[in-house]
Amino acid sequence: MNKSELIEIVATESALTKVAAGKALDAMIAGITKAVAKGDSVTLVGFGTFKSSKRAARVGRNPQTGKELKIAATTVPRFSAGAGFKAAVAGKKAAKKK
């Protein structure tokens, strides 16, 4: 599925026009990107959590030459799937909380 197919589904499910659904999707992506770039986490209950994570500097190897090279420390985005999303992908019903 690509972005235009997702916009079509959102438009159909929410009774919005494709233009409005596209703007809503773009705004959601921009909001998540800005929050994670600032270091905040974004939690969508049942779907998952977007957050940033620091990756330490390390030494790697060039696979062609075997020569060691330094890989700099960096910050990368992470996504942790929520229980509902995991259950849907596995084809199971989500466990209800007690």
Question: Which residue from 56, 54, 48, 55 is spatially nearest to 79, judged by alpha carbons?
Answer: 48
CA dist 73 and 41 (Å) reads: 20
Superfamily of domain 41-92 in CATH is: IHF-like DNA-binding proteins (4.10.520.10)
pLDDT on residue 95: 61
In tens, the pLDDT along 43-94 reads 999 999 999 999 999 999 999 999 999 999 999 999 999 999 999 999 887 6
Domain boundaries, the chain: 1-38, 41-92
Tokens of 39: 């270091």
Place of tokens 């499910």: 13
pLDDT on residue 92: 80
Return the sign of the alpha-carbon dihedral for residues 7, 10, 16, 20.
negative
